Homo-oligomer: A and B are copies of this chain.
């Protein structure tokens, strides 16, 4: 169970917990780089004008000003901490368009800040890991398929319970609503977005009272949102509702492509879920959400979508598609439910002991030889009794202690088994699994609820 942080909403990890987080970050980085994504970091601050341009709720934003600056205003030029990595990346693309090769694939792993009320799964400072592909003018739809596959692979490599990517398409939804005579797409999406929270009956009321929908329109919208399938059978289910619209057809064809390919390459990880709305206005096609199966109340651990016009520079537009993994949300759940743990608390595999105080420099030579061969080593700081030096290692979880006798011969002891053998610093190595701390998945605890049944 993770400890309470001393400042609510700003989690900090103990070294052994940080090893779990580092494992997550390293695994994501490796997967993204194997898929050709370049690392980018943007500054932590944006101008307030830039941040609010896309209509995010400004209450969540942390303003930044020099402590002694009495002229600090709240104008568009004043600074604030970024609340996601998409808006800063859009600015970065526009500013550096002349230096980038499009379609540009980037991953970005950084802290973001939101002044929300803290609770599990919602921190004020947290780490996101984003991937996006951005085109210059156009971006082939295939990237919508590819990004779902990359994310399924990345999440599949993490020590987490089973997950499910829920995918929908804005064109499909917008076309359908238009087909039944509801033209306020954002309004309908906002209502549908509340489905899980307030239920179908209340959403129907909202559609009727706020958007003037008839009973039949509300029912049709809810019928669409009820459709889920692990394969492409959702197409037939939508068609059976009898609505016709060219945009609906376009969206159906797109979502069919994503689900067909993803259900083949990542079986069981991806479903078409026509209730997924995603609050943000800038999505224009595919939208993604991801839940941990049995931990749905945690909320989405990875979301995103296609945005055709997030970034532009004069007449030039940069359409993109991307997803963002909530790393801190995942790590918090992993630690709280002990899904995974580090095999030891410190990097050190070997403690080189001191026979007497004058042997420190010789011990450093042994350590340097071992390190030059990629073995993490510490040297004892003082020549206490060997029992105390071994206890020092044991308390840290350092598996091996090294002894050098006066005649220059060496021995190494595995303090778990007690086995002690002669060793040469230029050739001895610990077993591969002991070289570095490993992060091991634990047996899976009971899920917090039963996953919903699907067709």
Binding site for B on A (CB under 8 A): 3, 5-7, 10-15, 18-19, 22, 33-45, 47-48, 58-69, 74, 80-81, 91-92, 95-96, 99-101, 103, 105-106, 111, 113, 115, 125, 140, 142-143, 146, 149, 261, 264-265, 345-348, 360-361, 364, 368, 371, 374-379, 381-382, 395-396, 436
Q: 21 pairs across A/B with beta carbons < 8 Å?
A: A3-B99, A6-B95, A15-B40, A22-B39, A33-B347, A34-B347, A34-B374, A35-B371, A35-B377, A35-B378, A36-B378, A44-B125, A58-B68, A59-B68, A61-B67, A64-B64, A101-B346, A103-B381, A140-B381, A146-B364, A265-B364
Across the interface, A65 reaches (CB within 8 A) one of B38, B48, B63, B103, namely B63
Across the interface, A13 reaches (CB within 8 A) one of B41, B66, B368, B376, namely B41
Of all chain B residues, the one with the shortest Cβ separation from A43 is B10
Chain B contacts of A6 at CB under 8 A? 91, 95
Q: Is the CB–CB distance between B15 and A38 below 8 Å?
A: yes
Q: Is the CB–CB distance between B67 and A62 below 8 Å?
A: yes
Q: Is the CB–CB distance between B100 and A15 below 8 Å?
A: yes
Of all chain B residues, the one with the shortest Cβ separation from A436 is B33
Chain B contacts of A12 at CB under 8 A? 41-43, 92
Please name 12 further chain A to chain B contacts, defined as beta carbons within 8 Å, in addition to the given A35-B376, A67-B115, sorted by A numbering.
A5-B43, A12-B43, A13-B41, A18-B40, A35-B378, A48-B67, A63-B66, A69-B115, A101-B396, A105-B346, A140-B381, A140-B382
Chain B contacts of A364 at CB under 8 A? 146, 149, 261, 265
Report the Cα distance A371→B259, complex, angstroms.
Answer: 22
Report the Cα distance A47→B43, complex, angstroms.
Answer: 22
Q: Is the CB–CB distance between A62 and B59 below 8 Å?
A: no
Chain B contacts of A361 at CB under 8 A? 261, 264
Q: Is the CB–CB distance between A96 and B34 below 8 Å?
A: no
Chain B contacts of A39 at CB under 8 A? 15, 18-19, 22
Task: Tell me, rounded to whole Å, the shortest Cβ–Cβ distance linking A25 to chain B.
Answer: 10
Task: Tell me, rounded to whole Å, the shortest Cβ–Cβ distance linking A347 to chain B.
Answer: 4
Chain B contacts of A34 at CB under 8 A? 347, 371, 374-377
Report the Cα distance A221→B74, complex, angstroms.
Answer: 50
Of all chain B residues, the one with the shortest Cβ separation from A19 is B39
Of all chain B residues, the one with the shortest Cβ separation from A378 is B36
